[in-house]
Structure 1
Amino acid sequence: MALPIKDQLKYWGLTAAVFAVILWFLGDVLLPFVLGGAIAYFLDPVADRLERMGLSRALATAVITVVAILIFVIMALLVVPTLVNQTANLIETAPQLTRDFTDFLTTRFPSILEEGSTLRSSINSIGATIQERGGQVLEAALASVSSILNIILLFVIVPVVAVYLLLDWDRMVAAIDDMLPRDHAPTIRHLAREIDGTLASFIRGMGTVCLILGTYYAIALMLVGLNFGLVVGFIAGLVTFIPYLGALLGGALAIGLALFQFWGDWVSIGMVAGIFGLGQVVEGNVLTPKLVGSSVGLHPVWLILSLSVFGTLFGFIGMLVAVPVAAAIGVIARFAVDRYQQSLLYRGVDAGPTETPDKR
C-alpha cells in the first residue's frame, strides 16, 4: 500500500530542502564534484559509442582521458597564455580607446560632446572604470587560480572525479533506478528521459556550438589582423548559448575595435562584420538545427532568469547547476500542466472523457 500523498509530499519536500541547504553551505566544496559530474555526463555518449565499436568501458575511458590530456596540454601551452595577455592588454588599452572614441565624436559631431558635458564625462569615465575594475577582477582571478588549493581542486580532483564517474556511469544509473519508489518508477523514468533529452540537446549540443563558433570567431578575427581577436572570439563563443546575445555582444565589440584599428580601411571593417554575419548564418541554418534541435524547451528568458537566481543564491556553483535545474523544472512543469489539463479541476465535474486531438 502506497503512502498517502500528504506524507509523500512531506518526505520529498524535506529531501529538496536538505539538498538546498547542502548546496548553500557546501557550494565551494562541491564545485570540483559538480564539474567532474558535468564532464562525465558530457562525455558519456562518447564512451558509449566507443563501447559499440568494440572497446570495453575501461578502455573507452582511458582513450577519452588521453585525448583530453593532450587537448589540455595544447591549450595550456598555446591558447591560455595568449588569452590572458590579450585580456590584460585590452583592459590597459580601454582608456585610450575611449579617448579615441571621444575625439572621433567631437570631430564629427561637435555639438554632441561639448567640453564639460555630462555625456563627455560619462564616456571618459568608462575607460578608467574598465581599467580599474577589470584589472582588479583579472588580478583576483589570477590570484585565485594561482593558489595551491584551487590548483589541486581544479587540476587534480576534477579530472579524477570525472574519470571515475565516467567509468561507473552506467552502473550508477542502474543503481539509482533500483532505488526508485516502485509506485512512481515509470513516471520518474519518463520524466528522467525527457530531462536527459533536453539536457543532451541543450548542454551537449549548445556546448559544441559554443566551442565551434568561439574557435571560428577567434581564428577568423586573428587572421584578419584584429587586435584582441582571441578575447572577442572567446567572449562571443562563451555566451552563444543565449540566442543572439553572443553575436550581438561579440559583433559589437569586434566592430568597435575594428573601427578604431582599421578606420578608413573599410574592407577590413567589412570583413570583421562579415565574419559575424557568416557565423550567424552557419549557426542558425547548420549548427543549431543539427546539434541542438528545434524543440529544446528552454526559453532564453527562462535561462537568464535561472542563471541570475541561482547565481545570486548559490554563487558560482549555482550558475553551474542553473541550466540543468532549469531544464528539469521545465520538464516537470510541462508534465504538471498536462496532468492538470486531464484532471477534473480543469475539465470540470460534468466533463466527458478527455478528447484525443485529430492528428490527420
Structure 2
Amino acid sequence: MAFWFLLIFKTTLKVNISFPKIFFIIATTFALFAIFVVARPILIPISFALLISFILLPLAIRFENAGVNRMGAAMFAILSTILVLGGGIYLFSTQIISMTGEFSNFQGKVIQIFAETTAWLNSNMRIVPNLEKDELMDQLKNWLSESSGSLVQQTFSGSAGFIAGLIATIIFTFLFLIYRAGFKQAFVLFYPEEKRGQAMRMLKSIQMVGQKYLVGVILIVIIIGIINSVALLIIGIDYPFFFGFLAAILAIIPYVGTTLGATIPVLYAFMTYDSLWTPIAVSITFWAIQVVESNFLSPKIVGGTLKVNALAAIISIIVGASVWGIAGMILFLPFTAMLKVVCQEYDDLKPIALFIGEQNVKEKSIDIKALSHWRVKLKDWFSKL
C-alpha cells in the first residue's frame, strides 16, 4: 500500500523520489515512537510537570512579587497546590473507607447474580450437564479467594509506580519553575537575532495554550462534579459527592473517561438497591449531563482554548493511547494544540496548522496560499533527492 502511495505521489508531482531517503524518514519516525515508548517512565512525568508549571507560574510570580525568592516562590506554589489536593483526597478517603466495609456484600451479590444467570442459561441450553447453582457459587468464591492475592500485589505495584511518577512530576515542576528564565533564554538562542522576538511570542503562545487548557479542565471538573453530586443526591445514591467528582475526574480522559465514570455509580446502584429504576435513573442522569457537557460546557470552556478539529483530536488521542496509555490520551491533546501554535509561526508549516485547526472558511482563505507554497517547496525538496 505504501508503495502505491509513493508511486501515485511521484506521478502527481512528477519528481524522482529516492526510496532509500523515504525509508530513512519512515525508520526515523518509528525510532521516535520507540523512544517515546522506552523512555515513557521519564517523559510522562516531564510532560505533566511542563503543563503543571504553566498553571503554577502566575501563582509563583505573585509570591515573587511579594518578596519571596524564586526557589521559595516555586516551593510555596507547589505546596499550596498539594495542600488543596490533599484536603480533597482526605475528604474522599473517608467515603472510600466506608465503602470498603460494603465490599463483602458487593462480592456476595455479584457471585449470586452470576451464578443465577449461568444456571438459567445452562438450564435452557444444557451447556454443562448436572450443574448446580450452589456448586457454582462455591467455585466462584474459591476462585475469588485465590485471585485476591495477585490482585493485591498488582494494586500495590501499580500504586508504587504511580507514587514514584507523582514524586518525579513534583520535582520536575519545581525545576521548571526555578529555571524558567534559563530555559527561555536557551530556547531563544536557537534562533537568529532577527527572529528571537518571534520565538518569544511563540513560546508565550504555547504557554497560554497549556495554561488555559488546564484551567478549563479544572473548571469542567468542578462544574460537572457539583452537577453529578447534586443529581445523585436527589436520586438517593449513597456517597454522592464521591461518585460525582470521581466521574468528573475520569471525564478528563477523552471519550473513554465519561463512560467509565458513569459505569461505576450505575454498577453500585445495581448492586446496592433492589429496584432496577435506581440504576436506570443514574444512567439517564449521567447521559443527560454528558450531553450538556459535550455540547455546551466543554466547547465553550476548553474547546475554545485548543481550537483543534475532531479528526486531529481523535488521531492524537489514539496515538497517545498507543504510546503512553491513559497518560498519553490526556497529554497528547494539548500537545497537539501546542504543535498547531508552532506551525502557525512558519509559512512552510502553516498547512499543518490548517489540518490540525478548526477549518472554517476564513482559515481556508488565509492559508490556501501557504498550502500551494508548501506543495512547491515539497516538490523542490523531492527533486533534490
Report the TM-score range of the alignment, normalised by the length of the smaller protein.
Answer: 0.5 to 0.7
AA of the residue aligned to 2:369: Q
Q: What CA distance in whole angstroms lies between the structure 2 residues aligned with 1:229 and 1:284?
A: 22
Letter in 2 for 1:162: T
Which residue, out of 310, 318, 323, partners 2:333? 323
Q: Does 1:209 align with 2:220?
A: yes
What is aligned with 2:106?
93
C-alpha separation in 2, matches of 1:344 and 1:157: 42
Shift of 1:205: 1.2
**C-alpha deviation, 1:142, in angstroms:** 1.9
Equivalent residue pairs, number: 324
Tell me the SS of whatever aligns to 2:304: coil
Q: Does the 8 Å contact 2:49/2:170 carry over to 1?
A: yes
1:99-155 CA-to-partner distances (Å, cap 9, x unmatched) read 53886899xxx99x945579xxxxx9xx99x979998566413234347xx75x346
- Separation in structure 1 between the aligned mates of residue 226 and residue 150 of structure 2, nearest angstrom: 27
Contact 2:306 2:334 (C-alpha < 8 Å) held by counterparts: no
- Residue 319 of structure 2 corresponds to 309
1:298 alignment partner, SS class: coil
Aligned partner of 2:228: which letter?
A: Y
Please name the residue that 1:342 is paired with.
369
Q: Which runs of 5+ in 2 are unaligned?
A: 1-24, 129-135, 355-365, 377-385
Amino acid in structure 1 at the alignment position of 2:306: V
1:178 corresponds to: 189
CA contact (8 A) 2:40 2:324 kept: yes
Judging changes above 3 Å, is the alpha-carbon distance between structure 1 residues 80 and 204 closer, same or farther for their aligned structure 2 residues?
Answer: same
Partner of 1:7: none
Which amino acid in the other structure matches residue 261 of structure 1? T
Partner residue, 1:238: 249
> Relative to structure 1, is the Cα distance of residues 133 and 291 closer, same or farther in structure 2, using a 3 angstrom cutoff?
farther
Residues 20 and 277 from structure 1, CA distance in 2 versus in 1: closer, same or farther, beyond 3 angstroms? closer
Q: Which has the larger radius of gyration?
A: 2
Which residue is equivalent to 2:54?
41
Q: Paired residue for 2:262, among 251, 263, 273?
A: 251
Equivalent residue, structure 1, for 2:169: 158
Structure 2 matches for 1:125-140, cutoff 5 A? 139-140=153-154
State the SS of the aligned residue for 1:226.
coil
Residues 239 and 285 of structure 1: CA distance in aligned 2, closer, same or farther (over 3 Å): same
How do 1:260-275 residues align onto structure 2 when only pairs under 5 Å count?
Answer: 260-264=271-275, 266=277, 272=282
Amino acid at match of 1:28: P
Give TM-score, length-normalised by structure 2: 0.58
1:276 matched to 2:276: no
**Alpha-carbon contact 1:198-1:297 (below 8 Å) kept:** no
The DSSP-based 3-state class of the residue aligned with 1:310 is: helix
Q: Deviations over 1:217-251 (max 9, x none)?
A: 36764786535757744552234246665444433
Provide the C-alpha distance between the structure 1 equivalents of 2:264 and 2:327, rounded to a whole number of angstroms.
Answer: 28
TM score, norm. by length of structure 1: 0.62
Of 266, 269, 294, the residue aligned with 2:304 is 294
Q: Which stretch shifts more, 220-229 or 69-78? A: 220-229
Picking from 114, 137, 159, the partner of 1:145 is 159
